[in-house]
Amino acid sequence: MFSKKDTTRKLGTWPDPVTADIAAGTLKASGIDCEVRNTLLWSAAGELPPDICAPEIWLTDARDMARARAILKEIAENAEAPAWVCPNCGETIEAQFGQCWKCASVKPAKP
């Protein structure tokens, strides 16, 4: 009988289970299989050392590590990006949106 080689790897820790679930959901929607672990210990922070209580995201396949980091980095950069102005109608649009709500013009590419 053979054993399947374990290729799971920890991607990182998150401040709370909600943000970990959002990040994991984003990765899963991008085709990266992962799971959130350590969500129950989060409520014990303060009683236990914080470094062992943080929720963690584990990737099923370690080969997805670079892609997962790139996806989460892009999301973080977009969250911090400034609003953009639609070149067609002049409407100010929040950074996370890629299309103008008023005239449906697509957000211009980054220079």
CA angle 1, 58, 2 (to 5 degrees): 5
* Domain span including residue 86: 82-111
Is the whole-model pTM more than 0.95? no
How are beta strands 84-85 and 56-59 bridged, if at all? unpaired
Q: Domain count for the chain, please give it.
A: 2
Residues 64, 88 share a domain: no
What is the full per-residue pLDDT of the chain (111 aa) written as tens digits?
444 567 899 999 999 999 999 999 999 999 999 999 999 988 888 888 878 889 999 999 999 999 999 999 988 877 777 899 999 999 999 888 889 999 999 998 875
Residue 4 resides in a domain = no
Same domain, yes or no: 75 and 46: yes
65/97 same-domain check = no
**Residue 2 domain-assigned?**
no
Both 37 and 60 in a single domain? Answer: yes
